Amino acid sequence: MASLSELAREHTALDEEEIRHIRRLVRSWGLLADLSFSDLLLFVPTADDNGSFVVLGHVRPSTGQTMYRADPVGQTFRSSERPLVRQSYHHGQIQQGELSLRLTFDELVKVESVPVKGPSGIVAVMTSEAHIDPDRLYSELERTYAHTYQRFAHMVRNAEFPFKIQEEGRFRAPRVGDGTVVLDQDLKVDFASPNAVSAFHRLGVHRNLFGLSFPSLSIGDDEVKKAAKEHRPMIVELEHSRETTVVMHFLPLLVDGELTGGLLVLRDISDLRRRDRLLLSKEATIREIHHRVKNNLQTISSLLRLQSRRVDSPEAKSALDESVRRIASIALVHETLSQDTGEDYDTGDDVVLVELVKPLVRMVEESVVLPGRPIRIQVSGDAGVVPSEVAMPLSVVITELLQNTADHAFGGKRDEPGQVSVQLDRDREVLYLSVEDDGQGLPAGFDLADTGLGLTIVQAFVRDELGGTIEMSERNGPEHPVGTRVALTVPLSGRRRSDRI
């Protein structure tokens, strides 16, 4: 299904400002559907100017039965099929009536059409559609909700709703089932739903709310008074204790630009905040574990270095030194995972690969670059964020490849530094990494299957641990007459955070 903006551009003549206006309405009209106990549909004239209307939006109420089992968005109706919509659009007035709709069967439906006024006039029509039940007696709550909906409907007609200033992204759009309070123009409580009374009890307010001035409750009173004075919506998070957190939405009710009251919608998010605290505690614990593992690995490296100093055999000393480098590369990953960078990804489980590769390169340069064989290692590209189970073996692989390049690519003394390039790239769920040098190339008869310990470790990690591939070849062409290129391909699919525990 296409988005509202895509449907509007394809089927209507609305400009971008008008599209933004109806998008704001659709983002916040779930509350209106609940207040009216009705399905809400948004009709906009089609661009061909033949009197037809296309449905760009639909929302079902959470307080009553929906009229539509199927989604009507995208359907086109002739004006004769929707006479109230036509009248509201052309005359700019709210229209009420009954309509026989072919839903599951021919059914008489109560319809109210509200012209939606935008920046340059009427841009759409919003209809509320509900079953007709003439024998039903409505409760005070239902009568209050229906009356509040009418106030919002007049605001829609007068371009006073939706509000241009909206706090988005922090919390979901409010629904009346969370708890609703209606305030009069003096910000006194005119009505409070049972769920709202319960929410105030959890906030420590046990008084009878009816008739009380809301500022006297000393709960978000400053924010509400300021928002009411400025005729704008407001969201405030209220905490009574670590165990109780309530989000309060305030919506001003206006008539011709004058404040006539307000609507408060409250939602208890105590469980959500409790889970947030548990997640923060878990992340802190994970980072502390990584920090301690890093310290333990550094201790092991120190012990190996002490042992290396006491060994006389050059082969044993070399083996111990290589082990120290491998352990150091793993410790570097744990150090990265132990740091809280404040990014949006989960730093307890994920790593920005380029931020890991750069210190690995520095570590290798400090250990292998000698006065007789200067080497410059450059890192280019970006592979984004990778999970820790990829970063761990990959850090060892990169260290081994750079060590192998330093040991074998540049023979003898050189006046010019050897050039080594580490390139990172990514294509959705596939990671590409290459290490290239301008050294003396591969030896005659080179076989990747018959190599030393370093490249054997690389192959084992790439193929067995990471499920990837490795290719080793000489660089060809006029730009690269000599040198070696090692190319790795590592699949990342199946390693998403949601799949890991």
Task: Please give the residue that has the higher pLDDT: either 499 or 164.
Answer: 164
Cis? peptide before 393, omega within 30° of 0: no
Task: Give the 3-state secondary structure of residue 132.
Answer: coil
Sheet holding 484-491, edge to edge: 375-381, 418-427, 430-437, 484-491, 469-474
Task: Give the 3-state secondary structure of residue 336.
Answer: helix
pLDDT greater than 50 at residue 272: yes
Burial of 189: CB neighbours in 10 Å, binned 0-12, 13-18, 19+: buried
* pLDDT tens digits for range 380-392: 998 888 888 888 8
**Smallest Cα–Cα separation from 251: which of 470, 32, 403, 103?**
32
Q: Euclidean distance between the first and final Cα of the chain, in Å?
A: 33
Q: What is the pLDDT of residue 20?
A: 93
Q: What is the pLDDT of residue 172?
A: 66
DSSP 228-254: HHHT--EEEEEEEETTEEEEEEEEEEE
* pLDDT tens digits for range 79-104: 999 999 999 999 999 999 988 876 65
Determine the Cα–Cα distance for residues 234 and 14; give it in Å rounded to an integer: 29
Q: What is the pLDDT of residue 475?
A: 74
Task: Return phi, psi of residue 24, to 5°.
Answer: -60, -40
Which region, left, alpha or beta, applies to residue 211 given φ > 0 means left and ψ of -120 to 50 means alpha?
Answer: left
pLDDT greater than 60 at residue 379: yes
Q: What is the pLDDT of residue 44?
A: 97
Q: 246: which 2 tokens? A: 């309530």
- Cβ neighbours, 10 Å, residue 187: 21
Task: Please give the residue that has the higher pLDDT: either 485 or 272.
Answer: 485
Which helix (DSSP H) or strand (DSSP E) does residue 103 occupy? none
469, 461 contact by CB (below 8 A): no
Q: What is the pLDDT of residue 396?
A: 84
Predicted TM-score (pTM) above 0.75: no
Across 29-38, average pLDDT: 94
Q: How confident is the model at residue 33 (pLDDT cuts 50, 70, 90)?
A: very high
Q: What is the pLDDT of residue 251?
A: 94
| Ranges 84-88, 131-135, 337-341: which has the least confidence | 337-341
Task: Please give the residue that has the higher pLDDT: either 127 or 338.
Answer: 127
CA distances from 496 to 288, 338, 493 (A): 23, 20, 7
Determine the Cα–Cα distance for residues 346 and 332; give it in Å rounded to an integer: 18
| Ranges 125-134, 200-209, 278-287, 431-440: which has the least confidence | 278-287
CA distances from 217 to 27, 113, 174, 199, 234 (A): 30, 38, 22, 13, 17
Q: How confident is the model at residue 500 (pLDDT cuts 50, 70, 90)?
A: very low
Q: What is the pLDDT of residue 335?
A: 75
* pLDDT tens digits for range 160-196: 999 987 655 556 677 887 789 999 999 999 999 998 9
Task: Give the 3-state secondary structure of residue 13.
Answer: coil
Q: What is the pLDDT of residue 346?
A: 45
Task: Report the chain's mean pLDDT, rounded to a whole number.
Answer: 84
pLDDT greater than 70 at residue 369: no
DSSP 479-490: S-SS-EEEEEEE
Task: Give the 3-state secondary structure of residue 266.
Answer: strand
Across 485-499, average pLDDT: 71
Q: How confident is the model at residue 314 (pLDDT cuts 50, 70, 90)?
A: confident
The fraction of the chain above a pLDDT of 90, given in percent, is 35
Q: What is the pLDDT of residue 477?
A: 53
Determine the Cα–Cα distance for residues 462 and 59; give it in Å rounded to an integer: 50
Name the amino acid, one letter, at 90: H
Q: 430: which 2 tokens? A: 């596939």
252, 259 contact by CB (below 8 A): yes
Task: Give the 3-state secondary structure of residue 309.
Answer: helix
Across 64-72, average pLDDT: 87
Q: What is the pLDDT of residue 344?
A: 44
Q: What is the pLDDT of residue 85?
A: 96
Q: What is the pLDDT of residue 499?
A: 38
pLDDT greater than 80 at residue 15: yes
pLDDT greater than 50 at residue 233: yes
Across 139-146, average pLDDT: 93
| Ranges 83-92, 248-257, 355-364, 424-433: which has the least confidence | 355-364
Q: What is the pLDDT of residue 77?
A: 93
